[in-house]
């Protein structure tokens, strides 16, 4: 059986790897309901030009299985999670490839709790996608265009803002989902905002902008006119920030600030947070110095969320900007993260000042792209590569750390090292990258 789902749903080149036929089959499966009544399903998409065709196929599949599908229009991934949980939908669907280029697209599925779909249901969907016949009975469902649902999400975000002093911000919307939510949100909060990359055309999502390209935001902040700037990714489930001093606030820094703020209010459950293997070593040290514990999980916000739920913890996330405030939402929300950071900046000055205690260890990260995720996995199985990794681990053991892994969402091998000695870091990473490229033909 083919494996379609990665760590964040299904992704691939739109209409080639991720086809309308696959989308239709997914809709057919989740549109049916064991007792014969149709599921209530919420669906949304980001701004990619391929999103409309995939949405149409999903909706046709749902309706053909007797499901009732509510189309929120273009919105954010976390809006789907929030609305599914609070309005008691049976499933939620988001069509997005997050921070990937416009040519890619993806399908993320949520259960009625607002959490990412369980692996058990993913496997059942994969079985159905691969089945030689469309064996599910056909019924007549209903499609409803429901853009007003988005307002409930915006209202909820507004209720979460705790800032008490006037601020001016920059918003880089990545020509993605945030373009349809952030301007209204900040206008209704009365916060003056300069908008960047807020004119999506179907192909410019994440193109030299957003959370993976901070140059535009950095230049805007150099003017000195603004207190803080925020950059979102294509579906606005992650957020990075730059303050007026030029300091970059990534997911690690947001977790650190959020944990301190929650602890000050007596809301940091068990005095611990959840971080991932990619979190900077400096975050671990800063948390230890503050007496805050941490649990480490694999990369992927679904693993962060699972650990938060398992241990009953309050906050966790990834360096990339996925931050989950568990008492608010079951998934990362870039806009909520921005409001939390901004609230601390505006009204908890003593907490914000502690950012200077977070000393980031220099990190060297190289991504090596292959034609497929299988080729990326095969590259790491070379004896030469394994030996080079062992050598690098030995060289860094006393002063840093090494992490070599495949991406859960793209055909990439990521080679990362952290060490106070930047030259040592670079040398060890370069050695591993060279061996990987010798062992397997890569794209770049």
Give strand pairing partners of 12. Answer: 105
Tell me how far apart the alpha carbons of residues 339 and 344 are, in angstroms, rounded to a whole number.
9
CATH 3.30.310.50 residue ranges in the chain? 363-439
Kindly state the average pLDDT of the residues 330-334. Answer: 96
For residues 239 and 334, is the Cβ–Cβ distance under 8 A?
yes
Q: What is the DSSP string of 326-384?
A: TTT-SS--HHHHHHHHHHHHHH-HHHHHGGGG--PPPEEEEEEE-SSHHHHHHHTT-HH
- Enumerate residues 6+ apart whose C-beta is below 8 A from 215: 208
CA distances for 99 relative to 182, 231, 322, angstroms:
17, 12, 12
CATH 3.40.120.10 residue ranges in the chain? 5-151, 160-357
State the pLDDT at residue 427. Answer: 94
For residues 386 and 429, is the Cβ–Cβ distance under 8 A?
no
The answer regarding whether domain 5-151 maps to CATH 3.40.120.10 reads yes
Q: Is the pLDDT of residue 372 over 90?
A: no
Kindly state the average pLDDT of the residues 199-209. Answer: 98
Q: Is the pLDDT of residue 2 over 80?
A: no
Tell me how far apart the alpha carbons of residues 145 and 148 are, in angstroms, rounded to a whole number.
9
Pick the catalytic residue: 50, 65, 98, 177? 98
State the pLDDT at residue 300. Answer: 87
367 is written with which tokens?
A: 């991504």
For residues 47 and 74, is the Cβ–Cβ distance under 8 A?
yes
CATH-assigned architecture of domain 363-439: 2-Layer Sandwich (3.30)
pLDDT, greater one: 312 or 133 = 312
Tell me how far apart the alpha carbons of residues 281 and 263 are, in angstroms, rounded to a whole number.
21
Please provide the average confidence, as pLDDT, over all residues in the chain.
Answer: 94
State the pLDDT at residue 292. Answer: 98
Kindly state the average pLDDT of the residues 203-211. Answer: 98
What CATH code would you report for 160-357?
A: 3.40.120.10
> What global pTM score does this model have?
0.89
- Examine the residue annotation and report whether 98 is marked as an active-site residue of this protein: yes
187 is written with which tokens?
A: 């206008």
pLDDT tens digits, 336-371: 999 999 999 999 999 999 999 999 999 899 999 998
């Amino acid at each position: 059986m083919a494996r379609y789902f990665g760590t964040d749903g299904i992704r691939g080149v739109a209409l080639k790897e991720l086809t309308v036929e696959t989308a239709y089959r997914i809709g057919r499966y989740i549109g049916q309901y064991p007792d014969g009544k149709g599921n209530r399903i919420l669906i949304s998409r980001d701004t990619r030009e391929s999103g409309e065709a995939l949405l149409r196929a999903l909706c046709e599949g749902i309706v053909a299985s007797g499901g009732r599908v509510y189309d929120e229009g273009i919105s954010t991934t976390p809006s789907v999670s929030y609305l599914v949980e609070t309005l008691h939908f049976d499933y939620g669907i988001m069509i997005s490839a997050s921070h990937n280029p416009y040519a890619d697209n993806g399908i993320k599925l949520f259960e009625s709790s607002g959490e990412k779909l369980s692996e058990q249901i993913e496997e059942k969907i994969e079985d159905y996608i691969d089945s030689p016949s469309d064996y599910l009975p056909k019924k007549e469902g209903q499609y409803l265009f429901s853009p007003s649902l988005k307002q409930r999400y915006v209202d909820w975000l507004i209720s979460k803002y705790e800032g008490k002093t006037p601020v001016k911000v920059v918003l880089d919307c990545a020509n993605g989902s945030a373009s349809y939510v952030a301007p209204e949100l900040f206008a209704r909060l009365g916060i003056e905002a300069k908008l960047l990359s807020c004119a999506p055309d179907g192909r410019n999502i994440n193109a030299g902008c957003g959370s993976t390209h901070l140059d535009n935001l950095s230049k805007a902040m150099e003017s000195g006119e603004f207190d803080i700037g925020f950059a979102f990714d294509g579906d606005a489930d992650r957020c990075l920030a730059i303050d007026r001093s030029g300091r970059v606030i990534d997911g690690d820094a947001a977790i650190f600030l959020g944990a301190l703020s929650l602890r000050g209010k007596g809301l940091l459950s068990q005095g611990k947070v959840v971080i991932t293997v990619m979190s900077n070593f400096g975050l671990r040290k800063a948390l230890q110095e503050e007496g805050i514990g941490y649990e480490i999980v694999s990369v992927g916000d679904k693993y962060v969320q699972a650990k938060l739920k398992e241990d009953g913890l309050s906050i966790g996330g990834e360096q990339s900007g996925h931050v989950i405030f568990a008492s608010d939402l079951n998934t990362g929300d870039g806009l909520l993260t921005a409001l939390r950071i901004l609230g601390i900046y505006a009204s908890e000055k003593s907490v914000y000042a502690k950012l200077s205690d977070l000393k980031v260890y220099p990190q060297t990260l190289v991504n090596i792209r292959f034609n497929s995720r299988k080729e990326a996995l095969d590259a790491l199985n070379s004896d030469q590569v394994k030996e080079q990794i062992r050598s690098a681990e030995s060289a860094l053991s006393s002063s840093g750390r090494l992490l070599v892994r495949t991406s859960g969402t793209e055909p990439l091998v990521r080679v990362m090292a952290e060490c106070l000695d930047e030259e040592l870091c670079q040398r060890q990473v370069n050695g591993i990258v060279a061996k990987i490229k010798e062992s397997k033909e890569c794209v770049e």
